[in-house]
Amino acid sequence: MFGRKRILVTGGAGFLGSHLCEALLRQQHEVLCVDNFFTGTRDNIRHLLDNPSFELLRHDVTFPLYVEVDEIYNLACPASPIHYQFDPVQTTKTSVHGAINVLGLAKRVKATLMQASTSEVYGDPQQHPQKEDYWGHVNPLGTRACYDEGKRCAETLCFDYHRQHKLSIKVARIFNTYGPHMHPNDGRVVSNFIVQALRNEPITIYGDGSQTRSFCYVDDTVDAFIRLMDTDPAFTGPVNIGNPEEQTVRELAETIIELTGSRSTLTYKALPSDDPTRRCPDIELAKSALDWTPRITLSEGLGKTIAYFDTLLSQRDKL
């Protein structure tokens, strides 16, 4: 088929990766999903296994990978604090060694690489909202540094490969994303709050709940990935991908209680170290370069996510 590509998605069995694989298959591409299943799960991609255009390979990106592809989306890395702080040395290796390996692969096969970076490169920002030219405010010695600095180094590697080897790269800085296929125990506010609300348990808020986040539904985020990959080769990013509508954590908890009809109450605990107080993207570059803005409202996206977790928890309760 004209325009059909062979596309590698590392971290393809994870939350974002599984949705990206689905979207690429809908576009009739061949998709190679690579995952070591540390945080990803076969359940996220089980419905894709019978598709002749889909291939699954169990592999850790900290080791070289020898395949022939046209495009690479490098999403491999645990992205929630609970998971990336479990083995911080391995987290850094995944970001840095993983980037070196996929960049080397892209160089060999002359593929375009999209690096999944993160809003965490901005740290606890002193600029609000955050623009792509902001260098960030990151603690390099803190418990979150394995992820924050690992992703910053991955960006550096991408741009050095681009300058030194003329490699075609795209860098996406992903802000808070939510939706089906999130891990129920990943420690993120959306999944935490929904699971607690569905179980009528107290909803745990760290700090006083006044810290802000912006939440983008997964379908919008994946749409931005594909639009970024399809931009002119001269456009590298980095580009912020997220929803600029800010919510306090307390407001999010109250919205989820209302949508689930839960009897949950709010309980407060100490704020974790280096937890950012404000996080909101400036997406003017995404609007102009990608012709992209989020389309799914928070209430609509939360409704779909709540339905997913309700089904998941019901299935687990039956086991």
Sorted by where each begins, the domain ranges of the chain are 6-318
The pLDDT score that the predictor gives to residue 81 is: 74
**What is the rounded distance in angstroms from the CA atom of residue 253 to the CA atom of residue 83?**
22
The pLDDT score that the predictor gives to residue 276 is: 74
Helix axes 249-260, 189-198, angle to 10 degrees: 30
The pLDDT score that the predictor gives to residue 277 is: 78
The pLDDT score that the predictor gives to residue 85 is: 83
Specify the pTM: 0.93
- Do 72 and 102 form a contact (C-beta atoms < 8 A)? yes
Q: Which residues contact 136 (CB under 8 A, 6 or more apart)?
A: 121, 122, 123, 125, 152
The pLDDT score that the predictor gives to residue 148 is: 93
Spell out where the chain has E strands.
6-10, 30-35, 54-58, 71-74, 112-118, 169-174, 177-178, 203-206, 212-214, 216-217, 239-241, 246-248, 266-269
Q: Quick one: which H or E segment has residue 180?
A: none
**What is the topology classification, in CATH, of domain 6-318?**
Rossmann fold (3.40.50)
The pLDDT score that the predictor gives to residue 133 is: 95
Going by C-alpha positions, the residue among 74, 152, 57 that lies closest to residue 111 is 74
The pLDDT score that the predictor gives to residue 317 is: 66
CA distances from 309 to 3, 22, 36, 302, 303 (A): 36, 19, 24, 10, 10
What is the three-class DSSP state of 5? Answer: coil
**What is the rounded distance in angstroms from the CA atom of residue 40 to the CA atom of residue 44?**
8
- Phi, psi dihedral angles at 13 (to 5 degrees): -95, 5
Q: Which residues contact 253 (CB under 8 A, 6 or more apart)?
A: 189, 193, 203, 205, 209, 266
pLDDT along the chain (319 residues), means of 10: 86 97 98 95 96 97 97 90 83 95 98 96 90 93 91 97 98 96 87 95 91 94 98 96 94 96 93 77 97 97 96 78
The active-site residue, picked from 73, 84, 122, 147, is: 147
The pLDDT score that the predictor gives to residue 249 is: 92
**What is the rounded distance in angstroms from the CA atom of residue 52 to the CA atom of residue 45?**
13
Instruction: Identify the DSSP state of 201.
Output: P
The pLDDT score that the predictor gives to residue 171 is: 98
The answer to whether 147 is a known catalytic residue is yes
The pLDDT score that the predictor gives to residue 80 is: 67
